[in-house]
Structure 1
């Protein structure tokens, strides 16, 4: 039996310098567009490690800490796990804590999706990307991009 997912995860908003946002479409839910997300592999896994791993697994992008740097927003969201995915968690677990990160990349960066998880990707202006996301916390993070990125421009 596969172990239960840990109800703590990362959200990684991938964007370009001009605030175009990369969205990926879920393989298990066509029409569900999102940023990179993923749960911790172990309760003590550092959040940056989780974000780096998930970014690579889902898009092929390597955050090397030099040219491509993940930025921890030090922002967490607690949300109710959608019923369709609740079976992945231990009985009685209904909420997840999500930690927000972002990463700025060139728009022409190669994207290699994990076909088991995602089937398409697209770049959209941040307002359109926020509207396309199925997750309210993902949409809200995208809407915060202009304010969050002012610090790194």
Structure 2
């Protein structure tokens, strides 16, 4: 039975430590493609926060809502972008779908947190200072999200509502 087409609504979760080291994972299907956690909704009505929590667990083994990583560590930036799906990935979506809307989050985790990759999806991981992590990303929007991390976190700590970054 073929898999149903992916829903063109997804999350990007920038996982970072308090010192702003960022987790990057390498895709199994494209060896030069380093990225943050990403993933599509399973159901149209699935809240983005649930998609983010599920994808983090599936791709890294990190459980949001656990003692080490409380639910409050997951920060919804209330920000999304629309981008054109890379041609090599369009076969995963319904015919004619060429754009995806991606909702951005960050997740603060303790230093040296254990990561368990899903081997069918990712083959390696790195913890890098955020600027270096951004420079390793294949996707320019993923790099942009990582570079926005200090500003987004400062806005959260100050209790300010962030304006759209673009």
**Same fold, TM-score > 0.5, yes or no:** yes
Category of TM-score, reference length = shorter chain: over 0.9
Matched, 1:133 2:134: no
Once residues 80 and 92 of structure 2 are traced to their aligned partners in structure 1, the CA distance between those partners, rounded to angstroms, is: 21
Matched, 1:152 2:138: no
Structure 2: which 5+ residue stretches go unaligned?
159-166
In structure 1, the residue matched to 2:59 is 58
In structure 2, the residue matched to 1:90 is 94
Structure 1: which 5+ residue stretches go unaligned?
none
Per-residue CA shift, 1:91-145, capped at 9, x if unaligned?
1100000000000011211100000000000011111101100111111000001
In structure 1, the residue matched to 2:19 is 18
SS in 2 for 1:144: helix
Query: 1:93-108 alignment to 2 at 5 Å?
Result: 93-108=97-112
SS in 2 for 1:4: coil
Shift of 1:65: 7.0
Query: Kindly tell me: are residues 111 and 65 of structure 1, through their superposed partners in 2, closer, same or farther at Cα, counting changes over 3 Å?
Result: closer
TM-score (ref. length: structure 1): 0.96
Decide whether the 8 Å contact of 2:11 with 2:39 is kept in 1.
yes
TM-score (ref. length: structure 2): 0.89
Q: Which moved more, 1:137-146 or 1:57-66?
A: 57-66
Once residues 2 and 67 of structure 1 are traced to their aligned partners in structure 2, the CA distance between those partners, rounded to angstroms, is: 34
In structure 2, the residue matched to 1:37 is 38
Once residues 83 and 67 of structure 2 are traced to their aligned partners in structure 1, the CA distance between those partners, rounded to angstroms, is: 32
Q: Which moved more, 1:62-71 or 1:84-93?
A: 62-71
Q: Which moved more, 1:59-68 or 1:24-33?
A: 59-68
In structure 1, the residue matched to 2:77 is 73
In structure 1, the residue matched to 2:116 is 112
Shift of 1:67: 4.6
